[in-house]
Amino acid sequence: MSTIVKHLPADKRREVTIAAVIELAAEQNPTDITTAAIATRMGLTQGALFRHFPNKTAILQAVMTWVSTRLMAKLDKAAQGATSPLAALEAMFMAHVEFVAMHPGVPRLLFGELQRAEKTASKSIVQALIKRYSERLSRLIEAGKARKELDDHLDTEAAATLFIGTIQGLVMQSLLSGDVGHIRHNAARVFAIYHRGIRSTQ
């Protein structure tokens, strides 16, 4: 792998670094990941790694930016193909679940950053991601209420919070079971319960 990585363009090598961190996070506590471990996973020396990132903090910031960009793009794509606001919510739910199943290290990294007491650039990126995510959900929920798909009296902010919290709950259960891929098994059933709670009964 080292020969391949050494000959990659700078932007591609940064992507490989990000992928290595996400892989390592799926296997161990993200806070225990060292630059030496990242370099070893890539088949490089730490010196070669530091040509692209000055330190571990910069690497984590790049990882969080990648996660934020990719996840929101996946959610947007899922919503755009839906025929109604409620269908868009379901598509986003399933897209998020699939993203986690494909990148099991991501939730560990996100939870790790949010648990930090200090304010960091990486934590700010995660917080901004959640804010954008909530805003998009709120717009969809409001659109669903306008189309009479969702309950007129539905608390939009609470419904958006519950949507994200429901996925986080699924993630935590999967992590506890030791198989993040198991999240796919429960996703549809869990969304069906969320659906029943927000839909219009008229």
Domain ranges of the chain: 1-54, 60-198
Tell me the pLDDT tens digit for each residue of 116-142. Answer: 888 889 999 999 999 999 999 999 999
Nearest residue to 94 via CA among 197, 177, 163: 163
Helix, strand or coil, per DSSP, at residue 129: helix
**3 vs 182, higher pLDDT:** 182
Domains 1-54 and 60-198 alike in fold: no
**Torsion angle, alpha carbons of 170, 190, 71, 81, to 10:** 170
What's the CATH architecture for 1-54?
Answer: Orthogonal Bundle (1.10)
150 has which bridge partners?
199
Q: Which helix (H) or strand (E) holds 171?
A: helix 156-177
Tell me the pLDDT tens digit for each residue of 138-184. Answer: 999 999 999 999 999 999 999 999 999 999 999 988 888 877 778 88
pLDDT of residue 2: 46
**Torsion angle, alpha carbons of 126, 129, 135, 136, to 10:** -150
Query: What global pTM score does this model have?
Result: 0.90
Pick the CATH number of 60-198 from 1.10.357.10, 2.60.120.10, 1.10.1370.30, 3.40.50.300: 1.10.357.10
- pLDDT band at 44, cuts 50/70/90? confident
